[in-house]
């Protein structure tokens, strides 16, 4: 959002529109927002609001969570965001934490109307946190573990040197976006099955004996194989099986892995969650019946939040339009929509929005409700990269846009990489395979990231993937590197160890 404009101290009806208010007035505003949310049928849990300076809010935003361990990358993000704030290029208006009770931050200096918008928006987020099924396993006291982890990492810095610990944290963070296994449904195959006895087996004793011997060899190989099945939890496997990791290094991996798991539901619901918060704050503001001057200021701020982005999806914009479409379909369905959506025309739109907000993620919401009308309002299109600097629009058809967006959201734009062998070439090498399931692997990114995996494993690491040509054809491609290598080497033929 852009910088705040200079406003008059008073709106035409006498209510304040700039940052001239005290804590008692903010408390009254909070009470009004909460009452309006209850009037919408939202059972809003307790929320504690903090009025904080920009430095405090941008520090939390850069770290992701308050009290998180210090790291140069967080400082880099802080300097970038704070510089944009100081120069009026952007501003964080709301920051809310899924804790018990919920914690939200109001930026000092924001106008009265901006604080109203933030409070109403936060109530939408908190209802979503409290009711959406993906957030039910979340530890609402997780900040205590975050601070304990930060203390342990700081202690390791004192004992082992800050440079060594930060280099290790860099390596772990490089693959932290790969979801922990408890968040990934992966079928397990088990050991090789026993050959089915054939009624004519006695007639071919040599073949029967050979089949039995092959089964014994396969079962023995399976018993020795680590991992038994392809393992997508890279950090979990390295933490448990890394042959050269010290205890403090395993602990650091566990800290970062738990934090990645904490953020996983938020990544899965970014569009649905932000859109729902906009839907809630829009209705709360309508219920409060602002004066003319306040409403003009609110619309200016709200337009900055909800405008389409030219080269990326704005989750506030798309999410809000999707929830509006849900509401329209169930309140005023066409004859075709009555057949496609059970309960359309019978269940109220508001009731259906609340039902879906408790069960959906981004991919399911987009798959069901990204209609041509939503694509038009959000100015969406499918595109394809041509070279390093050129993008080409390939379609404005809703079906094509929906297919591309659902694929992106289903994988969170993270390539699926699995560990298939922890003793490659019988030399302790780590063999990884990229499953090309709609998310490609950038060759330069892979070459730069694999050395971090090698440093964690302590031995040579291999990555099997495919190179995709402009016409969509694929050719096998492999990478390999050893601990200490700055970049991985690419191979067009399979490495031989």
Residue among 182, 146, 241 at smallest CA distance from 453: 241
What is the per-residue burial (b if ≥16 Cβ within 10 Å, else e) of 263-302?
ebbebbbbbbbbbbbbbbbbbbbeebebeebbbebbebbb
Query: pLDDT tens across 123-148, in order?
Result: 999 999 999 999 998 888 999 999 99
pLDDT at 3: 29
Q: Are the C-beta atoms of residues 105 and 52 closer than 8 Å to each other?
A: yes
Cis ω before 68 (30° cut-off from 0): no
Question: Edge-to-edge, what's the strand order for the sheet holding 47-52?
Answer: 47-52, 102-107, 94-97
Residue among 16, 46, 12 at smallest CA distance from 115: 16
Residue predicted with more confidence, 99 or 209? 99
Strand partners, 49: 104
Residue among 129, 145, 125 at smallest CA distance from 137: 129
- Give the percent of the chain with pLDDT over 70: 83
Q: What is the mean pLDDT of residues 62-84?
A: 89
pLDDT at 225: 62
Residue predicted with more confidence, 224 or 494? 494
Residue 344 has pLDDT above 70, yes or no: yes
Confidence of residue 221 (pLDDT cuts 50, 70, 90): low
The Cα-based distances of 281 to 115, 129, 132, 187, 277 in angstroms read: 12, 16, 18, 41, 6
What is the average pLDDT value for the chain, to the nearest integer?
85
Which of 70-84, 205-219, 382-396, 452-466 shows the lowest mean pLDDT across its residues?
382-396
Q: What is the mean pLDDT of residues 194-215?
A: 65
Query: pLDDT tens across 448-490, in order?
Result: 999 999 999 999 999 999 988 777 788 999 999 999 999 999 9
Residue 222 has pLDDT above 70, yes or no: no
Residue 18 has pLDDT above 50, yes or no: no
User: Model pTM?
Assistant: 0.84
Residue 14 has pLDDT above 50, yes or no: no
Integer Cα distance of 323 and 332 in angstroms: 14
The torsion defined by the Cα of 183, 359, 284 and 8, in degrees rounded to 10, comes to 30
The torsion defined by the Cα of 162, 166, 167 and 170, in degrees rounded to 10, comes to 180
Per the rule left: phi > 0, alpha: psi between -120 and 50, beta: everything else, 316 is alpha
Query: pLDDT tens across 362-414, in order?
Result: 999 999 999 999 999 998 877 665 554 555 556 678 888 888 899 888 888 88
pLDDT at 149: 95
Integer Cα distance of 356 and 323 in angstroms: 9
Which of 2-11, 215-224, 286-295, 486-495 shows the lowest mean pLDDT across its residues?
2-11
């Amino acid at each position: 959002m852009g910088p705040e404009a200079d406003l008059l101290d008073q709106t035409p009806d006498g209510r304040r529109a700039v940052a001239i208010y005290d804590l008692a007035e903010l408390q009254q505003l909070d009470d009004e927002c909460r009452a309006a949310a209850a009037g919408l049928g939202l059972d809003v849990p307790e929320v504690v609001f903090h009025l904080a300076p920009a430095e405090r809010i941008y520090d939390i935003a850069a770290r992701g969570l308050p009290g998180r361990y210090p790291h140069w990358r967080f400082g880099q993000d802080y300097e970038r965001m704070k510089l944009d704030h100081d120069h009026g290029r952007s501003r964080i208006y709301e920051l809310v934490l899924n804790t018990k009770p919920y914690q939200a931050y109001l930026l000092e200096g924001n106008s009265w109307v901006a604080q109203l918008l933030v409070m109403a928006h936060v109530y939408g987020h908190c209802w979503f946190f409290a009711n959406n099924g993906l957030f039910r396993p979340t530890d609402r006291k997780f900040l205590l573990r975050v601070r304990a982890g930060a203390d342990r990492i700081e202690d390791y810095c004192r004992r082992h040197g800050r440079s060594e610990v930060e280099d290790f944290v860099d390596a772990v963070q490089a693959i932290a976006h790969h979801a922990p296994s408890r968040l990934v449904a992966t079928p397990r195959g088990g050991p090789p099955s026993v050959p089915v006895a054939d009624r004519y087996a006695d007639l071919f004793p040599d073949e029967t004996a050979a089949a039995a011997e092959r089964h014994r060899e396969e079962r023995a190989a399976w018993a020795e194989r680590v991992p038994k099945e392809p393992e997508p939890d890279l950090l979990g496997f390295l933490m448990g099986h890394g042959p050269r990791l010290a205890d403090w290094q395993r602990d650091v991996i566990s800290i970062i892995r738990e934090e990645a798991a904490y953020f996983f539901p938020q990544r899965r619901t970014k569009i649905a969650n932000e859109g729902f918060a906009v839907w809630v704050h829009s209705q709360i503001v309508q219920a409060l019946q602002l004066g003319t001057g306040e409403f003009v200021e609110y619309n200016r701020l709200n337009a900055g939040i909800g405008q389409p982005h030219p080269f990326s999806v704005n989750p506030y914009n798309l999410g809000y339009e999707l929830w509006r479409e849900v509401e329209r379909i169930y309140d005023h369905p066409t004859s075709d929509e009555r057949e496609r959506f059970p309960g359309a025309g019978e269940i109220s739109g508001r009731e259906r929005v609340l039902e879906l907000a408790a069960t959906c993620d981004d991919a399911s919401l987009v798959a069901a409700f990204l209609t041509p009308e939503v694509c038009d309002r959000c100015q969406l299109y499918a595109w394809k990269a041509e070279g390093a600097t050129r993008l080409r629009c390939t379609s404005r058809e809703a079906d094509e846009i929906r297919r591309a967006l659902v694929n992106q959201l289903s994988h969170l734009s993270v390539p699926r990489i699995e560990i298939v062998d922890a003793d490659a070439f019988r030399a302790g090498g780590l063999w990884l395979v990229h499953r090309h399931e709609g998310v490609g692997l950038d060759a330069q990114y892979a070459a730069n990231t694999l050395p971090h995996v090698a440093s964690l494993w302590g031995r040579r690491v291999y990555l099997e993937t495919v190179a995709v040509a402009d016409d969509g054809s694929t050719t096998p491609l492999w990478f390999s590197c050893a601990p200490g290598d700055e970049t991985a080497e690419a191979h067009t033929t399979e490495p031989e160890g």
